[in-house]
Amino acid sequence: MDSALIPRGVKRCPIWQFALGLGIVGIVLLWGVYAMLLCWFKGLNQTNMNDYYGFALWIWADLAVIALGGGAFFTGFLRYLIGKDELKNIINFAVVIGFICYSSALLILGMDVGQPLRSWFIFWHANVHSMLTEVAFCLSCYFAVLTIEYIPLILENRRINKVPFFHNLGHNMHEVMAIFAATGAFLSFFHQGSLGGVAGVLFGRPFAVREGVLIWPWTFFLFTWSAAAYGPCFTLLVTRITEIISGKKLVKENVILLLAKISGWMIGTYILAKIIDTWYWATVTAPARGFSLMDFYSNNSLYGIWILVLEIVVCGIVPAAILMTRTGRRNPTARLVAFVLGVIGVCLNRWVMVLQTMAVPVMTFDTWQLYYPSWQEVATTILPVAYGVILIMISFRYLPIFPQEAELNPIVTSDHPIEEFVSEQLPAVAAQDLSPAES
Amino acid sequence: MKQGHHPVKKYGMAIDLDKCTGCGACMVACMSENNVPFKEDESNKLDSITWMRVYKLTNGKAYPDTEICYLPRPCQHCEGHNGHAPCVSVCPATATDYDGETGIVSQIYTRCFGCRYCMAACPYHARYFNWWDPVWPDGMEKYLSPDVSPRMRGVVEKCSLCFHRYQQARDKAIFEGRSEVAEEEYQTACAQACPAGAITFGDLNNPKHAVHQMVQPDKKHGGRPKNPKAFRLLERLGTNPKIYYLSSREWVRRAGDNYLAGGSGKKAASHG
């Protein structure tokens, strides 16, 4: 029924199966939309946020999806600016994931503010001292860049591409994509950082505050670094999930190994910086404000020192060790474990910087406050996930997201025998698997 | 009235905790004066609005050594470093500002878009979000103060040191050809309502004002009090607040800030 829209040389599931999948995820999406409308029309009293938790699940989700979407800017940076040409085979998917993550972040922000119709005040009455102002400007600009990067992919759809105007537009956009990738990398470095700065500048909150350089606290640099490190993990994880669901290999091993290796080294160096930051904070920054490290990790039922160990050791050192070593990243199971741990690690870091910051009492006569989200918050946080799944489903079905898919999954037809295809293509595949990038 | 350079004011408070009985009159006066909305059920204090909140502190000792202290906590009107109060510097839409002429941290309700970053920044929990639209009991809207705008759902609010009273006093002074507002002309509702006289309000920069004489702020050291009985909340964070507390009890003064076990760090503003 929709075969004319499906890219050439690839096979897709029957339309009924696709529609069924869309329908199931669509129900989840509608649940989220219903909760979103409740929040918009009835107000934020629909949430379990309170005056101690002005920032809660949504801000965590916001920071988390932006960190996970960091795979887009960093892969683009590696592909277009550093010249890692192999990554052209995964950059499309990284852009799609980035687009989903950033549009989700904007949607969540739209729900999170008390007066959404006044959101433009952030641009009109901008306070240059506020990290959130920097976030708003860079986030909006980078989302525009991601949209520009996503459009040529849409224009590559078989039917759309037949229209000469769209064909030429897509071609010309591809020609100048390096400029947008560079712009996106620049913007992303800043807004990832300013999201870190959001917590780091809170000098009234000893748990979050950090020293730094000029106007930027250390968290500014740590957030950028961690997004660049863990973002590719998420790209690779979603790629693997897509491969499992579609039942076929979509990206060649050498591409995966290259990005995994870079991600591993980035995580390794980031974790080293994070350990130094934690040590300095625990021994200098916090004591100067009258707090010991354990003040932040005791006298409550959730936030124990385990959370620091989980973030740094289990979800930092372990995935770094797996991905930095040849044997580790070549083992598909270990590699997948590393991706999952990496994704958990960066999400945990964002959770701690948002939620634990709110939970820790600062006044001596104050107490720990814990929080659990309302169903409306949960539904609206799952909403972007459902939206992302749907966009990936549609993009995967109708757009040539994975350039190597056709080559890796030859279609057997009577007029195009598999033997002929294999004889033409396999040597190239084999050669690429042993490319110098990984050897 | 002569136009010219007016001395910069720094309005603040000295709250004598030895006098405070915890009666809550300051809270009631504040809510009434500033049209602070309330819920039908106010039992959940985490989402109710109390610009002035009275905390109950204990020395943690068992009977008969138990001691109690009540600590009223309005917005601390932090100056931070050069007016960069914790909340002011983070507000993305400049909806809260540090007034260099009065030292009052303002909140512009019509500009606030409810991101709540200021609430995350405030260690005193002095900022409140309007989780609901205000609903007044039938007929009560007739008793609202016409000088203070009620706030709508979705914006942050906090103590303004009854700024509307300052505006009225200043207008009166200008009308009468004076350039200065007298001490008694501008007093906050909580200070006037306190039956024990525990709250003293005035210009910390003016040596003639009682608040200055009680606190003796040290300009050379960021306004730290010279009075050994006086202290500020969380002095060592560098928020530089303008609300001072006085107590003759050591444990109460120590409750104002955090200390490492073993006393490795003496209180930043050690006064006793």
A138 lies in a domain? yes
**Dist. CA A19–CA A34, nearest whole Å:** 22
Q: Tens of pLDDT along A241-260? A: 999 999 999 999 999 999 99
Supply the pLDDT for residue A245: 95
The H or E element spanning position A197 is helix A177-200
Supply the pLDDT for residue A190: 82
Supply the pLDDT for residue A124: 96
Q: Which residue of B has its CA nearest to A369?
A: B46
* Phi/psi at B73 (5° precision): -125, 95
**Dist. CA A204–CA A233, nearest whole Å:** 34
**Dist. CA A76–CA A82, nearest whole Å:** 9
Is residue B154 predicted with pLDDT exceeding 70?
A: yes
Close Cβ partners of A439 (under 8 Å, ≥ 6 residues apart):
none
- C-alpha to C-alpha distances, A212 to A116, A436, B10, nearest whole angstrom: 33, 39, 31
Question: Between β-strands B243-246 and B11-16, what pairing exists: parallel, antiparallel or unpaired?
Answer: parallel
Do A343 and A230 contact (CB within 8 A), yes or no?
yes
The H or E element spanning position A430 is helix A418-433
Q: Which residue of A has its CA nearest to B49?
A: A51
Q: Residues of chain B with pLDDT > 70: what percent?
A: 94
Q: Residues of chain A with pLDDT > 70: what percent?
A: 94
Q: Tens of pLDDT along A48-91? A: 999 999 999 999 999 999 999 998 889 989 998 899 999 999 99
Supply the pLDDT for residue A214: 84
Q: In the predicted model, what is the mean pLDDT of chain A?
A: 91
A402 lies in a domain? no
Dihedral over Cα of B161, B162, B165, B170: its sign: positive
Quote the distance between the C-alpha of residue A308 and its chain's center: 22
Close Cβ partners of A53 (under 8 Å, ≥ 6 residues apart):
A355, A358, A369, A371
Minimal Cα–Cα distance from A151 to chain B, Å?
31
Close Cβ partners of A209 (under 8 Å, ≥ 6 residues apart):
A200, A201, A202, A203, A217, A285, A289
Q: Which of A202, A290, A369 sits opposite B265 (nearest CB)?
A: A290
Q: What angle do CA B248, B252, B255 make, to 5 degrees?
A: 150
Question: Between β-strands B68-73 and B105-107, what pairing exists: parallel, antiparallel or unpaired?
Answer: unpaired
3-state secondary structure of B96: strand
Of the candidates A143, A229, A126, A226, the residue with the CA atom closest to the CA atom of residue A187: A143
| Partner B, chain A 20-49, Cβ-Cβ below 8 Å | 43-45, 49
Position A439 confidence tier, pLDDT thresholds 50, 70, 90: very low
Rounded average pLDDT over A195-210? 96
**What's the farthest any 2 CA atoms get from each other in chain B?**
62
B5 lies in a domain? no
**Dist. CA B202–CA B169, nearest whole Å:** 13
Would you call A132 and B115 a contact, using CB atoms and an 8 Å cutoff? Answer: yes
Of the candidates B241, B166, B182, B258, the residue with the CA atom closest to the CA atom of residue B14: B241
A156 lies in a domain? yes
Is residue A408 predicted with pLDDT exceeding 90?
A: yes
Residue A380 identity: T
A190 lies in a domain? yes
B268 lies in a domain? no
**Dist. CA A382–CA A108, nearest whole Å:** 11
Give B225's strand partners. B217
What number of CA atoms fall less than 13 Å from residue B171's CA on the CB side? 6
Q: Tens of pLDDT along A105-124? A: 999 999 999 999 999 999 99
Would you call A132 and B113 a contact, using CB atoms and an 8 Å cutoff? Answer: no
Supply the pLDDT for residue A122: 95
| Partner B, chain A 144-203, Cβ-Cβ below 8 Å | 198, 201-203
Supply the pLDDT for residue A433: 43
Would you call B117 and A54 a contact, using CB atoms and an 8 Å cutoff? Answer: yes
Q: Specify the higher pLDDT residue, A429 or B257.
A: B257
Which letter does DSSP use for residue A413 in this model?
Answer: B
Q: Which residue of B has its CA nearest to A354?
A: B120
B259 lies in a domain? no
B194 lies in a domain? yes
Supply the pLDDT for residue A189: 82
CATH of residue A150:
1.20.1630.10
Supply the pLDDT for residue A1: 74
Which letter does DSSP use for residue B131 in this model?
Answer: -
Q: Which of A51, A115, A290 sits opposite B119 (nearest CB)?
A: A51
CATH of residue B101:
3.30.70.20
How many domains does chain B divide into? 1
Do A187 and A141 contact (CB within 8 A), yes or no?
yes
Q: Tens of pLDDT along A120-143? A: 999 999 999 999 998 899 889 989
**Alpha-carbon torsion, ordered A208, A365, B43, A44, to 10 deg:** -10
3-state secondary structure of A138: helix
A35 lies in a domain? no
Reading the block at residue B208, the tokens are: 């003639």
Q: Tens of pLDDT along A343-366? A: 999 999 999 999 999 999 999 999
Close Cβ partners of A29 (under 8 Å, ≥ 6 residues apart):
A383, A386, A387, A390
Residue with tokens 């620049």: A186
Strand segments (E) across A140-268:
212-213, 216-217
Range of the domain at B113: 11-254
How many domains does chain A divide into? 1
B51 lies in a domain? yes
Cis peptide before B64 (omega within 30 of 0): yes
**Alpha-carbon torsion, ordered A104, A29, A232, A212, to 10 deg:** 40
Question: Residue A121: its chain B contacts at CB < 8 A?
Answer: 93, 95, 111, 113
Neighbours of A58 (CB within 10 A): 23
Residue B31 identity: M
**Dist. CA A43–CA A111, nearest whole Å:** 9
Supply the pLDDT for residue B263: 55
Give B105's strand partners. B98
Minimal Cα–Cα distance from B178 to chain A, Å?
35
Neighbours of A159 (CB within 10 A): 12
**Dist. CA B9–CA B19, nearest whole Å:** 27
3-state secondary structure of B128: strand
Range of the domain at A136: 49-371
A126 lies in a domain? yes
B6 lies in a domain? no
Q: Residues of chain A with pLDDT > 90: what percent?
A: 81
Do A234 and A286 contact (CB within 8 A), yes or no?
no
B264 lies in a domain? no
Question: Between β-strands A212-213 and B53-58, what pairing exists: parallel, antiparallel or unpaired?
Answer: unpaired
Supply the pLDDT for residue B270: 33
**Dist. CA A284–CA B186, nearest whole Å:** 43
Reading the block at residue B194, the tokens are: 């306190």
Quote the distance between the C-alpha of residue A3 and its chain's center: 31
Q: What is the CA radius of gyration of chain B?
A: 19
B4 lies in a domain? no
Is residue A160 predicted with pLDDT exceeding 90?
A: yes
Q: Does A283 touch chain B (CB under 8 A)?
A: no
Residue B237 identity: L
Quote the distance between the C-alpha of residue A288 and its chain's center: 35
A397 lies in a domain? no
Minimal Cα–Cα distance from B3 to chain A, Å?
30
A400 lies in a domain? no
Q: Tens of pLDDT along B3-44? A: 556 789 999 999 999 999 999 999 999 999 999 999 989 899
Reading the block at residue A144, the tokens are: 């525009």
Which letter does DSSP use for residue A367 in this model?
Answer: -
